[in-house]
Amino acid sequence: MKLKGENIIGFKSSAKGTKTIQAFIPAKNEYFPDRFTQATTEELDTAIALANKAFPEYNALSYEMRAQFLDAIADEIVALGDVLVERCAAESGLAVGRIIGERGRTCGQLKMFAELLRTGWWVDARIDKAKPDRQPIAKSDIRRMLIPIGPVAVFGASNFPLAFSTAGGDTASALAAGCPVIVKAHSSHLGTNEMISSAIIKAAQKTGMPEGVFSSVYLSHEEVIKLVQNPVIKAVGFTGSREVGMRLFNAAVSRPDPIPIYAEMSSVNPVILLEGALLDNGQKIAKELTASIALGAGQFCTNPGLVLMVENETGKKFLEDFAIQMSATIPATMLNKNIFKAYIDGVKYLQDAPEVALLGKASTEAMDEKLEAQPIVHTIRAADFLSNKLFSTETFGPASLVVLCKDNAELGEVLHSFEGQLTATVHATIADELAMKSLISIITQKVGRIIFGGYPTGVEVCHSMQHGGPFPATTDSRSTSVGTASIYRFVRPIAYQDFPDHLLPDPLKNDNPLKLFRLVDGNWTSEKI
């Protein structure tokens, strides 16, 4: 597939600008020859105007039509074939097998939202019937449902070039909700973005979607702020660094009309190892935890960056096993130069800190010229950990820090000191139950997902997933970016009072044509009115 290197503005390719950027091959530390032209302000404005125009048209389509669009995107992505997989693997430094798996997840997500649209219950339809005879005043007929919030700006992540990017969870959930999407292409996978964007446009045209329902643009830092602050844009989805996330957050909330922004930014995902679990399963945990830390060069927002345990005989035995396991890991290429540099700096900070000791690392040296990260684990005493906030910040990559506590009470103190997290994990047995209960009570206030006896990496895409936690894990703990519940980020409620039946949207009509579960006078029912 020949890449054009152009922005996709509505249904057209467009490259009116003069500034170009190049895609990078991290494993070779060199650039692809092709160039991608950044959008001009005029092109960005055109994309936004098209989204604005498309919004009421797109919104007026039936849920079934939207579902067909999402299904078609999945089909067009699969139809791209190997050329997508190869380009995506080369741009991201990720293995072909991983990319194939991620493509499956991405298409699965799109089809999951199509299925959700067909069920219809997600609109939370509620009806309170009129009571004209009520005293002292008549009761009106009130009906309420969720409607799309408006055009959405999506900023994909580098670490999931498919599942969290151009046609990833944010785009899928926004399109499902009824919101046109403008994607700011990630510089780490420019070719992938162009292929996926073309697939989306093909799907849009095949299924009769209005032009403007999707655009994809390459943007400078200044243009990014213009996108977030444009009055047409009604919400923002972002996954990436805390620094960029906060820049976008501040842009969104300082608009004359502030808008919701869902920025997923930073999480160290503490893993708590209680003594009973280490006694019973220490070796197994050492092996599996190591695998979770090293998986995908540790480039997951759910990577276990901190391990909490009590420093006793059982703990010491575990640490020996852990060190051995870590030595068997192998270095892997990181996503891009910035992430590689940040990892090197983060690890160096730990290495230079006198209170930090090396526990174990990959026995093979990492090759800088291939942007490889060397998996590594350090230890620190809880008292030292608590004295410096920097030890609890995320080092994105296959590094983890073991916090050694005197006892479970001190472990609780460490948990209390944390900022918000995407996840926390507890390994425990019946013997640990008392300590565990009090620790879980602390954890519950800090995280979006608690895992028992497993590992935080591997985020199941389902109705029950919560991928999002208190700040700085995300800027909006009320939301998830994975699973069907992520559609709620891009909708808002509207109520219709005393409306003629034929003017109501289908979910609220008397005869319930979509056969939805609705809350009618306080009871959930799929009956007609």
Catalytic residues: 264, 301
Query: Is the CB of 1 or the CB of 96 nearer to a second copy?
Result: 96
Q: What is the DSSP letter of 487?
A: G
CB of 253 or CB of 367, closer to a second copy: 253
Token code pair at residue 18: 């003069």
Beta strands in 113-196, from DSSP E residues, in sequence order: 126-128, 142-148, 152-155, 181-184
Q: How near is the Cβ of 270 to a second copy at its closest, in Å?
A: 14
CB of 388 to a second copy, least distance (A): 17
Q: How many helices (H) and strands (E) does the chain have?
A: 14, 23
Q: Which is nearer to a second copy, 279 or 357 (CB)?
A: 279
Residue 394: which residues within 8 A CB-CB, separation 6 or more? 242, 266, 267, 268, 305
Beta strand pairing call for 235-239 and 306-310 = unpaired
Smallest distance, a second copy to C-beta of residue 479, A: 8
Whether 195 contacts 61, CB under 8 Å: no
Could you tell me the smallest distance in angstroms from the CB atom of residue 196 to a second copy? 23
Residue 257: CB minimum distance to a second copy, A:
4
* Residue (of 490, 441, 411, 418) closest to 235 by Cα position: 490
271-273 vs 306-310, strand pairing mode: parallel
Rank residues 86 and 460 by Cβ distance to a second copy and give the closer one: 460
Nearest approach, Cβ of residue 228 and a second copy (Å): 14
Q: How many CB atoms lie within 10 A of CB 31?
A: 12
Nearer to a second copy, 34 or 57 (CB): 57
Of 120, 109, 108, 110, nearest to 63 (Cα)? 120
| Cβ distance to a second copy smaller for residue 409 or 462 | 462
Report strand pairing: 20-25 vs 30-37: antiparallel
- 8: closest CA among 39, 31, 33? 39
- Contacts (Cβ under 8 Å, ≥6 apart) of 330: 294, 362, 364, 375
